[in-house]
Chains A and B, each alone.
Chain A
Amino acid sequence: MLRVHDLNAWYGPSHVLQGVSLEIGAGEIVCLVGRNGAGKTTTLKAVMGLIARRRGRVLFAGEEILARPAHTRFARGLAYVPEERRIVPGLTVGENLRLGLIATRRFADANREIAAMAALFPRLGERLDQIAVTLSGGEQQMLAIARAMIAGPRMIMLDEPSEGIMPALVDEMFALFARLKQSGITLLLVEQNVELALEIADRAYILDQGVIVHEGRARALLQDAAIKERYCSV
């Protein structure tokens, strides 16, 4: 589904990604882990085309996308939930959901699609007319995920979805990821909550100082205390 080859990215003069390569098969959950500052967020942003200086190859569903403008990815079925969630201030929950359809043909059926999302996320459904930034952190995260899901993407990249969310909601969210996988959606997960992420992931990559240093089955990594200690402690 997504093939990243020798991806490089720069913030100003600093060379943040130094040749990242990874591959995510259709229907897989892949986890990208690493310490703070390893380049996980930068990897997602570079793939999304949100970092001006980027080089390498990124194939999504067989198509080279890295050099294309950022907005062309969503229509191809690549959705992204950034770490800061980016719920748009001043808009209601319903309007934020509508934004997930705004660049698609399905915008005409927005009310029906929103009703479907409201059934999946009842807490959002009850608050469609509420200003979205007044939701709790967990609800905002759910909204960000729902907004990325509503147009029916083939793959979603999520950056630190469990960050700052109470444990009960985190479990609910990971159960949702497992369901998304069952419905055939590919997931790339950047997660501090390594144990939990590895439990639902198929495979994992470990990123350190802008390069992939390890790749393996999630289950194997879960049992490898030495590697976890070396690359994943915060």
Chain B
Amino acid sequence: MAGLSLDLLALQIFTGLALGAVYVLLAIGMSLIFGMLTVVNFAHGAFFALGAYAGFLVLTLGGNFWLALLAVPIVTGLLGMAVEWGLVRHLYGRGIDDPLLLTFGLAYVLVELIRIFAGTQGLPFDTPDALAGAVDIGIGYFPLYRLFVIAMTVAILVLLWLFLERTRLGLIIRAGARDPEIMRVLGVDTGRVWRLVFGLGTAIAGLAGLLAAPLQGVSPEMGNAILADAFVVTVVGGMGSLAGAILAGLLVGVIVSLTALFAPEAGDVAIFVLMAVVLLIRPQGFFGRAGLMS
């Protein structure tokens, strides 16, 4: 390993953080939806892909990346609310399996719809001009766009935290996740709140897809692979835990990035080894509550 400098290692860790930021965004939406609705959303990866394609559409129609940043979460959020209203809500109270199978099937339908309307081939997605190039971050040059992804993720997390801790709806969500029945007694239409939470989760997933698009291009299946990784993140962090999703997302991103450098042949397995180890030592994940799935 001669020639491997500390700077290179640090840069690789930074690359991992940018990748981890995308995992965090996906996992936090899944955790939010699972924590409140007890729905394991297997369609989350499809919403990720839809977000990327919706961004592609905005660019094709003459809009710019900034407009896409605004439009994509609105579109995927509304679509998520429609899915909750039309499909998911009918399965509440029927255990964890039914909504899981439903969203699993829905993911196939959504990916197939993308293939029908946008083609089966992947499409290139240019980095916005203002964010192209690299900047010196002290340890070497780092792509500006990856820094932007990290900064956006931080901003979204701060906004989400403020929303949950400081607003009326946030208080309803925090309380409703723990005791929905008492919220109904106190006059809250929990069905509407759940629709909103589902939409919030899919809005963030769509935004994650858009942010990931310049890093990897868009393809109908782009959500499938990352969904598996995001599941590892939610399991390692603890199902339903937002703090767990953040910590595990960054950790998984860094591990993926470092194995790519040191042992590329182990790239696809490393995080599943991590998941296996965490599950053996701490089955509920970093911050998860035990017995949530039972």
Contact = CB atoms under 8 A, between A and B. Distances in A.
Interface residues of A, number: 28
Contacts of B179: 86, 88-89
Interface string B169-194: 00110110011011111111110000
A90 B187 contact: no
Given A95-B171, A99-B171, A74 B187 contact: yes
A39 B243 CA distance: 43
A185 interface: no
Contacts of A91: 171, 174-175, 178
B185 A70 contact: yes
B182 A86 contact: yes
B190 A98 contact: no
Given A86-B181, A91-B175, A107 B189 contact: no
A89 B178 contact: yes
Given A71-B189, A71-B190, A104-B187, A50 B171 contact: no
B168 interface: yes
Contact of B189 (A48, A49, A69, A147): A69
* Among B174, B182, B187, B189: residue with most chain A CB under 10 A: B187
Contacts of B171: 91, 95, 98-99, 102
A223 to B, nearest CB: 36
A74 to B, nearest CB: 3
A86 B175 CA distance: 11
B174 A71 contact: no
Interface string A136-179: 00000000000100010000000000000000000000000000
Interface residues of B, number: 17
A15 to B, nearest CB: 21
* Among A49, A79, A88, A104: residue with most chain B CB under 10 A: A88
B168 A99 contact: no
B175 A88 contact: yes
B183 A99 contact: yes
Contact of B185 (A48, A90, A104, A107): A48
B177 to A, nearest CB: 9
A56 interface: no
B182 A88 contact: yes
Given A95-B171, A98-B171, A103 B186 contact: yes
A80 interface: yes
Contacts of B181: 50, 70, 86
A1 to B, nearest CB: 18
Nearest to B192: A71
A72 B174 CA distance: 21
A49 B185 CA distance: 9
A50 B188 CA distance: 13
A75 interface: yes
Interface in A71-105: 71-75, 79-80, 82, 86, 88-91, 95, 98-100, 102-104
Interface of A: 48-50, 69-75, 79-80, 82, 86, 88-91, 95, 98-100, 102-104, 107, 147, 151
Interface of B: 168, 171-172, 174-175, 178-179, 181-190
Given A49-B184, A71-B190, 5 more contacts: A73-B187, A88-B182, A99-B183, A102-B172, A103-B188
12 contacts: A49-B184, A70-B181, A82-B185, A86-B179, A89-B179, A95-B175, A98-B171, A99-B182, A99-B183, A102-B175, A102-B187, A102-B188
